[in-house]
Amino acid sequence: DAKTTQPPSMDCAEGRAANLPCNHSTISGNEYVYWYRQIHSQGPQYIIHGLKNNETNEMASLIITEDRKSSTLILPHATLRDTAVYYCIVHAGNMLTFGGGTRLMVKP
Amino acid sequence: NAGVTQTPKFQVLKTGQSMTLQCAQDMNHEYMSWYRQDPGMGLRLIHYSVGAGITDQGEVPNGYNVSRSTTEDFPLRLLSAAPSQTSVYFCASSYRFLTSGYSYNEQFFGPGTRLTVL
C-alpha cells in the first residue's frame, strides 16, 4: 500500500473551512484515497473516499489532484465537534493501514 | 441496527492470563477485522476475515488468535497476556463494493475495548 504524509497538527477557527492536506506520491492506479477521523478515544469514523474524481457528501469534500499524488479533505464549516485526528489512507484491498494522521483543533 | 458491538468495554488481566474479546455486527458484512491502538499512535491491523471460515494475519498478529464461524461474530483471543498487549482494541466490519474492476469499502468501527495487562 502507498504511504501517506500528513501534517501532525492544524488549527481552524470555528465556522471557517478546514482544509487538510495529504501527500500520497506513490499511489497505484487502483488504490482509493480514504479519509477517516477519530474523535477523542472513540472508534474511527469513515468520512469519504475517492479514486480519481472529486467527491462530496454530507460531511466533507475530497479534492484529488489530477496526477493523484495528493488530496485535500475539506470540512466546509468546521465546528467544535470536528476536533479530531484525521487519517488519510490509500489502499486497494479491504484492510486499512493507519498512519499518524492530522490532529485538527477547531477553536472558538 | 446496533452496528458493531464490542465486549467488554474495559478489562484488566494479569500476565499469563487468557481471555477473549468479543465483536459482533448485525449488518451482514463480509469483512471483519481487529486493530489495536497504543497511546498516541495510529491503529495497527491484527487479524482480519473476508468471510465465515476465512481469516488472515495483519500487521501485528503475534499473541492473538481469531476464528470466524459465523458472519456476525469475530472474537479475538489473547493466548497468554503480556504487558505489551496493553492497548485499546477496535473491531471493524465492512461490505466490499466492486465497480469497474475496483474494490473499495467503508469500515464501521466498534467503540473499543480498553485492555490493561499487569
Cβ distance of A46 and B107 shorter than 8 Å: yes
Three cell numbers written together for B46: 491484527
Report whether B50 contacts B31 (CB < 8 A): yes
Closest CA to B50 of B117, B115, B105, B110: B105
One pLDDT digit (tens) per residue for chain B, 118 residues? 789 999 999 999 999 999 999 999 999 998 899 999 998 888 999 999 988 999 999 989 999 999 999 999 999 999 999 999 999 999 999 887 655 556 667 889 999 999 999 9
Cβ distance of B42 and A100 shorter than 8 Å: yes
Three cell numbers written together for B23: 465483536
Closest CA to B93 of B49, B38, B55: B49
What is the pLDDT confidence band of residue A94, given thresholds at 50, 70 and 90?
A: low
Among candidates B33, B90, B104 on the partner chain, residue whose Cβ is nearest the Cβ of A32: B104
Q: Which residues contact B20 (CB under 8 A, 6 or more apart)?
A: B75, B76, B77, B78
Cβ distance of B112 and A43 shorter than 8 Å: yes
SS3 B75: coil
Cβ distance of A92 and B103 shorter than 8 Å: yes
Cβ distance of B103 and A94 shorter than 8 Å: yes
The predicted-structure confidence for A6-52, as pLDDT tens digits, reads as follows 999 999 999 999 999 999 998 888 888 999 999 988 999 999 999 88
A107 interfacial to chain B (CB closer than 8 Å): no
B105 interfacial to chain A (CB closer than 8 Å): yes
Q: Tell me the average pLDDT of chain A.
A: 92
What are the helix and strand counts (H, E) for chain A?
A: 0, 9
Residues 16-35 of A with CB under 8 A from B: 30, 32, 34
